[in-house]
Copies of this chain bind each other. A is one copy, B any other.
Amino acid sequence: MPDVSHTFQLRVRYSETDQMGTFYNSRALEWFECGRTELFRSRGLPYTEIERRGVCLPLVEAHVEYLGRARYDDLLEITASASMSGKARVRCDVSIRHAETGAAVARGYTIHAFTNPEGKPIRPPAWLTGAIVPNGSHS
């Protein structure tokens, strides 16, 4: 994973559990989104600002490895980083751990295209890649 990552914490909501007693699998992708949101904000370029400038980052691929349980109200630590994936896509790696023990919960990545609001692919703007992928790191 690239070396410039951002970490923040969230708690598992009751609505995110399922009858197995742990978090429902698709929540990992929602937490990945929270990781990206806070990563972009920490870079000084909130995702709201990216969309305001007419750029969307829809997912083209997602991958999750489920490594451990997390229950309602558990405090989790989300670490996210970004790198270019080829010349036209950005990849966000995310790792989720228990905040207190460091025990792994899930890790994975999402790969995003650059499009306009109508979904047409566009060339990655320099103001965007310069902000969220420091040093032009590639995965």
Contacts and interface: CB of A to CB of B under 8 A. Distances in A.
A13 B34 contact: yes
Give the secondary structure class of A's interface.
mixed
A53 interface: no
Q: How many copies does the complex hold?
A: 4
Contacts of A119: 22, 69
Interface residues of A, number: 39
A85 to B, nearest CB: 14
A47 B46 CA distance: 33
A86 B71 CA distance: 29
Kindly list the 9 A-B residue pairs having the minimum CB-CB distance in the complex, ordered from nearest.
A26-B29, A17-B19, A26-B26, A62-B64, A25-B59, A15-B30, A48-B73, A19-B21, A17-B18
